[in-house]
Structures are given as C-alpha cells and as structure tokens.
C-alpha cells in the first residue's frame, strides 16, 4: 500500500497535516525535494 510522504510524516512524527505540508513546501522552495504530480515527493539530485 502506498502512503503519501505527508501522511507518513504525520504518522511517524505525530505532527499536524498542515505542519507536514508546510515543511514539504519549504523543502521544495529550498530545492531539497522535488514533487512529481502522480508520482510523489523525492530528494532532489545533488547540485554540482
């Protein structure tokens, strides 16, 4: 069964869904993760 990263963060760390969403948004803005619609959120490739 597939769980979204946001839901996984909520369950494993006991944070609110909004907190998990905002955290992922901040990581995206900093270029640390990328979100692919229909696939999920992934660690961004290392910049050289």
pLDDT digits 0-9 by tens, 12-45: 999 999 999 999 999 999 999 998 898 888 889 9
CB 44 within 8 A of CB 27: no
pLDDT at 2: 57
What pTM does this model have?
A: 0.77
Q: Which domain holds residue 15?
A: 5-43
Instruction: Return the SS3 of 41.
Output: strand
**Does residue 28 lie in a domain region?**
yes
Total domains present in the chain: 1
How far apart, in whole angstroms, are the C-alpha atoms of residue 16 and residue 31? 23
**Does residue 48 lie in a domain region?**
no
How far apart, in whole angstroms, are the C-alpha atoms of residue 32 and residue 11? 22
- For the chain, the distance separating the N- and C-terminal CA atoms, rounded to the nearest angstrom, is 35
- More confident position, 2 or 11: 11
Instruction: Return the SS3 of 9.
Output: helix
pLDDT at 42: 87
pLDDT at 1: 46
């Amino acid at each position: 069964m597939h769980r979204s990263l946001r839901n996984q963060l909520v369950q494993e760390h006991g944070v609110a869904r909004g907190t998990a969403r905002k955290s992922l948004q901040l990581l995206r803005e900093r270029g640390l993760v990328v979100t692919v619609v229909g696939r999920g959120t992934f660690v961004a490739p290392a910049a050289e």
